Amino acid sequence: HCDSAENAFKECLRVAEKKLIFVESVYTNNIEIHFMKAMDWLYNVWKKESVSLSYQFLSLRDWENLFKKNEIKEVKKEIIKSFLFPFLPAGKQYIFVINKN
């Protein structure tokens, strides 16, 4: 829920001391983006506090390019099984672990 996934990632990477761990929804095709946007809106529109809905969803290739651009050589990534609406084409949840050297 930020205006730039890349800028947010760079800031997280900058302030992380030894390890950066984050969970991200990753799309695998263009149809999934529409479902992911709809689910993001549905989960956040009812909240009392305003939530930025900038829809900064990236593909796995986009994330890998971002890691490469930031000279990160090793990233552990694992798919997290989602129990909410597993029948919808809504991308995959990944956990990424980056060890800073």
pLDDT tens digit sequence for 37-68: 888 888 888 888 877 778 888 999 999 999 99
- 57 CB burial (10 A radius; 0-12, 13-18, 19+): middle
Closest CA to 54 of 7, 94, 13: 7
What's the whole-number mean pLDDT along residues 2-7?
87
Share of the chain above pLDDT 70, in %: 92
The whole-angstrom separation of Cα 25 and Cα 15 is 22
Highest average pLDDT, of 29-33, 54-58, 95-99, comes from 95-99
